[in-house]
Structure 1
Amino acid sequence: MINVSEQHAPRSLIVTLYGAYGRFAPGPMPVSELIRLLAAVGVDAPSVRSSVSRLKRRGLLVPARTAAGAAGYALSPEARQLLDDGDLRVYATEPPSEDDGWVLAVFSVPESERQKRHVLRSRLAGLGFGTAAPGVWIAPARLYREARHSLERLGLDPYVDLFRGGHLGFAPTAEAVERWWDLAAIAKEHEAFLDRHAAVLRDWERREDTPAEEAYRDYLLALDSWRHLPYVDPGLPAALLPADWPGVRSAAVFRALHERLRDAGAVFAGMDQTPGATA
């Protein structure tokens, strides 16, 4: 059985499972089915139950009975919104353009509420924003909607003004981007993904068959690794990035695994009619 590493924590895998398949189920996912599907990627039943409890406390999963009366869990409206917003990043296929512009988040938090300042910084960083100046954060404009949803959900919108526009100087935008983001650290994340999953893709490319359980396992692990990357890397235009940017290769590997394995994996997950299979 596969050992679940730090990159594949049980709680993260459960969220990934719901994002890939569970949210398209006609009703709540039974606990027994969660245990079966997580066992396929090396997670034991006690870890599933404790992780589900944590996700329930965070308001992401809600207990519900299946049509047959079995205990199960459904996504909360908040969790569905998070996954829907995330789809635009995780499954993006259109390359970003310099013409898209930028979104700026400018915030001011009173000293008496400085804890919210920390939460704001953490949330903007988690969304992929870079730091243009103290209290001024920047991201590609296509992240505006998700940023707005996230700030509203956390009750942080009263402290933030959002602007959209272009970079007019004085430094060339490519040089400014190197100040706003740690591109070397982002590149290492892409290289780590390639180290874990490029060989998996090569193995599948040598095969003609696609067994459902193997496809499910390799797809879920790849998606669990990949879905965090578009939040580390905000998706900058190629013209603003170093030559031979590893993000191009990692995106190609994930897309190829998605196209090869997702639908076969859905059969093992018991959801072979899952909508959005060609996302």
Structure 2
Amino acid sequence: MNTRSLIFTIYGDYIRHYGNQIWIGSLIRLLKEFGHNAQATRAAISRMSKQGWIQSKKKGNKSYYSLTDRGVKRIEEAAKRIYKIKPEKWDGKWRILIYTIPEEKRNLRDELRKELIWSGFGTISNSCWLSPNPLEKQVYDLIDKYDIQPYVDFFISEYNGPHTSAQLVEKCWNIEEINKKYEEFISIYSQKYIIDKHKVQKGEISDAECFVERTQLVHEYRKFLFIDPGLPEDLLPKEWMGNHAASLFSDYYKILAKPANRFFEEVFKDGNELSDKTDTYDVYDHPFIIQ
């Protein structure tokens, strides 16, 4: 796993729920479990800081790092999608964003595309993006963030044919390919779940191993945020594997949660303040979406 991406996973799944701050020494120790050395960890932290995802603070001779407001916001946005067990109902409306960003602002256009894909928009034609989800706030936030008011138009509308809404979905997203990715996830992790569940129940797996397995599980599952638009139930095929994958992820995560948290806390408390009010064993709403 990429060091930078792994750090984001650990921030989302653990650190944010322990005060959103960690001593660099503890972070280096955690990443050692995945084969990442101190030099790689420090280099990744430096890049993330320059990109505005994390911020540093000195306490004596120790350096501590926490997510910035930007990082926290992105994690909260992802939480609404990644931990849904079932899709939501559709209001029958389509959100349509059209832009004409000039060629000299190509980099800006590329960044906007990445953000729209992450949010779950699909393209029906060049520079015309659609979503059936209520993403008004995300759209206006993007318009303000990139200062693109002169170049965009945003509509909320109904689709009146001549095709069906299901056919419209097929034009914008490769649902069959997404379903295959879910099938692959289920094929791999259903077997691992059975094995690790047995090991946890028999006490045959260490807390450190549970920490690694849970982090890897989250790391893999969160990748669906970049390919699955999170369509409402009304627009999904009958044989939709996303629901099965979500249930499997939930069950597997819960099996590993307590021992994984014990290991994290043991490492975290060396150089960090562990709040008595933190009830992490029941925490189950953390997203991790930066690649």
1:196 deviates by 4.0
Name which of 19, 29, 34 aligns with 1:36. 29
TM-score w.r.t. length of structure 1: 0.85
Match of 1:3 in 2: none
1:252 aligns with 2:243: no
Shift in alpha-carbon separation, 1:268–1:160, aligned structure 2, 3 A = farther
Identify the match of residue 62 of structure 2 among 64, 70, 76.
Answer: 70
CA displacement 1:153-211 (0-9 Å, x = unmatched): 34445533333343332211111111111223323432343344232212133341474
Look up the SS of the partner of 1:206 in the other structure. Answer: helix
CA RMSD between the two structures: 2.5
Q: TM-score, normalised by structure 2?
A: 0.82
Aligned residues: percent identity?
A: 27
CA distance in 1, matches of 2:248, 2:149: 37
Deviations 1:105-130 (A, max 9, x none): 22122344344333322321233211
C-alpha spacing 1:199/1:47, structure 2 compared with 1 (3 Å): farther
Match of 2:263 among 262, 265, 268: 268
Match of 1:229 in 2: 224
Residue 100 of structure 2 aligns with an amino acid whose one-letter code is S
Cα 1:59–1:238 change in 2 (3 A) is same
Equivalent position of 2:123 in the other structure = 131
Q: Which stretch shifts more, 179-188 or 113-122?
A: 113-122
**2:270 counterpart of 1:277:** no
2:100 matched to which residue of 1?
108
**Conserved in 2, the CA contact under 8 Å of 1:28 and 1:65?**
no
Distance 1:249 1:152 in 2: 37
SS in 1 for 2:91: helix
Q: Which amino acid aligns with 1:169?
A: G
The letter for the 1-side match of 2:124 is A
The Cα shift of 1:227 comes to: 1.4
Consecutive unaligned residues of structure 2, counting only runs of 5 or more, are 266-273, 286-291
Measured against aligned partners, the alpha-carbon deviations of 1:221-266 in whole angstroms (never above 9, x if no partner) come to 1111111212310112344333422322222221112222234322
Matches within 5 A, 1:176-255: 176-207=168-199, 208=201, 209=203, 211-255=206-250
1:274–1:145 Cα change, 3 Å: farther
| Cα distance, 1:182–1:50 mapped onto 2, change above 3 Å | same
Q: Given that residues 120 and 156 in structure 1 are in contact (C-alpha distance below 8 angstroms), is that contact kept between their aligned partners in structure 2?
A: no
Answer whether contact 1:64 1:72 (CA < 8 A) is retained. yes
What letter corresponds to residue 114 of structure 2 in structure 1? S
Does the C-alpha gap of structure 1 residues 258 and 64 become closer, same or farther in structure 2, counting only changes over 3 Å? Answer: same
Residue ranges of structure 1 left out of the alignment (5+ in a row): 1-7
In the alignment, structure 1 residue 49 sits paired with structure 2 residue 42:
yes
Q: Which residue of 1 aligns with 2:52?
A: 59
Q: Report deviation, 1:276.
A: 6.9
Q: Which has the higher contact order (CA 8 A, sep 6+)?
A: 2
